[in-house]
Amino acid sequence: MNNELSTTNANTMPANLTDRMAALRHKAASTPELWQPEPGEQLLGVLIGHQKAVGIYGENFQILVQEESGAVKAAWLTDWIRDNLKVQGAEAGDLIALTFLGKKQSPQGRFYNGYSLIIDKLNGRQGAPC
- The widest CA-to-CA distance across the chain, in whole angstroms, is 73
pLDDT digit string, tens, across residues 73-116: 999 999 999 999 999 999 999 999 999 999 999 999 999 999 99
Residues linked to residue 100 through DSSP beta bridges, in sequence order: 115
| Rounded CA separation 69/6 (Å) | 48
Which of 84, 115, 83 shows the shortest CA–CA distance to 100? 115
The amino acid sitting at 67 is E
pLDDT value of position 123: 72
- The residue that leads in pLDDT, 8 or 24, is 24
Q: What is the pLDDT of residue 9?
A: 47
**Is the pTM above the cut of 0.85?**
no
Each residue's pLDDT tens digit, 12-25: 566 688 888 888 88
- pLDDT per residue over 37-82, tens digit each? 999 999 999 999 999 988 888 899 999 999 999 999 999 999 999 9
Percent of the residues in the chain that have a pLDDT greater than 70, as a whole number: 82
Type and span of the H or E element at 71: none
Asked if 94 contacts 120 with a C-beta cutoff of 8 angstroms, the reply is yes
pLDDT at 128: 43
